[in-house]
Structure 1
Amino acid sequence: MAPFIADVGNRGLGSGASFGMREKPSGRIIGVMSNFVVTPDDSEIFQETKYDEEKSNWYSNVMRDFSTGVDVFQGKFKKCLELMILCVHPDYTGKGLAKKLVKLSEEKGREIGCDVLSIQATNIITYHISKKLGFQEIHRQELDTLTDEKGRPVLDMEFLKTNGTTFLSYLTKAL
């Protein structure tokens, strides 16, 4: 697992606002939603962390650049539940587990006094689930516009298109 993802996941696990689902017979984890609370006083979700792995550094930089300047509070919200990592085991996709995890997160957000939810959709599935549940897109980055210092594309867009990931999207939902 990339260190960047591990850092975000650990922050979510320590928040008390994350969820997991287990398969009854085996007890194995089949779904996870890692969340944490942010307020307007938090300067950045993505810290200035540097890693030894070049790809992990690149990904954390892309996500930092993507989220820079995005105001999930829009001058009217005080406390946001950031929905960060949503994963469902491949054997359980299409069964509504991701939707259930997002709804549990929404309930938890209300319970702990959040007035807005935000999610960064890094794939088309998360994007569509979020839209169906009433999230509104507030920022989008087309991935084919990302280039290296020489202006060359940094991503294999043909590969990403086969996975339905051609953009990053920041979405919010008022509670």
Structure 2
Amino acid sequence: MASNSNLTYRILTSNDESEVVRFVQDHFIPVEPALVAANVRAEEEHAFPSVIIKNSLWQGVSIGVFDGTNGNLCAIRINMLGKNDHCLPYEDNDSMHTEKQLVVHRILEYANEGLEDYLCKKNCMQHVFVIVNQAYARRGIATELYKRSEELARENGCEIMKATCTNCYTRRSVEKAGYVKVKEVPYATYVDGATGRKPFVDIPPPHTSVSVLIKTLHVS
């Protein structure tokens, strides 16, 4: 395995879309607690995560980490800028996602209700994904991605970083990076507004909730 010195960090572009989508399908969908609970399967998803990836890469604030020994993508940090919200293509959720994915989408929307100021502020960067191939875990990659993302946020005039976390490990990493929780939705008590059911009640510990966290940046 390559050493840390053989890892290359660079801004992802639209040319990376297919590789990034495959990376999400391989290293995120099969293990993300909410997606697993909703029985979302990568092979069944045609629009997700393509829509999210397409909408973020053109903004030039997402980062990929590549192994210098083989050129493989080994980690990503996907970000979106609030000031570009009006430029993003409208998503018709009923046609863009499967019903399984919509179950997850609804809890994320519910968790962000009342926080529109953070989501849509022109000076906000939204954290979408941070995913590290487990073969490259415990090498400080996620920490470095947070650091570089903050630098990009400042360069784009952002004063707020926002993250919606669906598992405890991501939440711990963003808290370690200085984010503060502003809202939390426990899986055990959440009721899906469309079905009246509790689709995430059986998610095992240590994953207990969807949480929304923010970090205020000091922009010089």
TM-score range, shorter chain: 0.7 to 0.9
The code of the aligned residue for 1:154 comes to P
Partner of 1:113: 157
Cα shift readout 1:26-58 (whole Å, capped 9, x = no counterpart): 11110001111014986x9x9552245220121
Say if 2:173 is the partner of 1:173.
Answer: no
Q: 1:65-122 deviations in whole A, cap 9, x for unaligned?
A: 2212114549xx6410111011100111222111111111111000111111111111
Q: Which residue of 1 aligns with 2:100?
A: 55
For 1:23 and 1:166, locate their aligned partners in 2 and report how far apart those are by CA, in whole Å: 33
Kept in 2: contact 1:118–1:171 (CA 8 A)? yes
- Three-state SS of the structure 2 residue aligned to 1:69 is coil
What is the CA distance between 1:167 and its match in structure 2?
A: 0.6
Unaligned ranges ≥5, structure 1: none
Unmatched runs of 5 consecutive residues or more in structure 2: 1-41
Shift of 1:147: 3.1
Letter in 2 for 1:11: N
SS in 1 for 2:70: coil
* 8 Å contact from structure 1 (residues 72, 118) kept in 2: no
TM-score where L is the length of structure 1: 0.84
Deviation at 1:155, TM superposition (A): 2.3
CA distance in 1, matches of 2:72, 2:136: 12
Partner Cα distance (1:150, 1:65) in 2 = 14
Do the aligned partners of 2:81 and 2:122 also contact (CA within 8 Å) in 1?
A: no
**Equivalent of 2:204, from 128, 144, 161?**
161
**Structure with the higher helix share, 1 or 2:** 2
Q: Quick one: structure 1 residues 121 and 150, their matched pair in 2 at CA, closer, same or farther if it must change by over 3 Å?
A: closer
CA contact (8 A) 2:187 2:201 kept: no
Q: Which SS does the other structure have where 2:93 is aligned? A: coil
Give me the whole-angstrom Cα distance separating, in 2, the residues matched to 1:53 and 1:41.
Answer: 23
2:186: which partner in 1? 142
Distance in 2 separating the partners of 1:4 and 1:65: 19
The change in CA–CA distance for 1:13 and 1:41 in structure 2 (over 3 A counts) is closer
In structure 2, do the counterparts of structure 1 residues 16 and 150 end up closer, same or farther at CA, with 3 Å as the change threshold? closer
CA root-mean-square deviation: 2.5
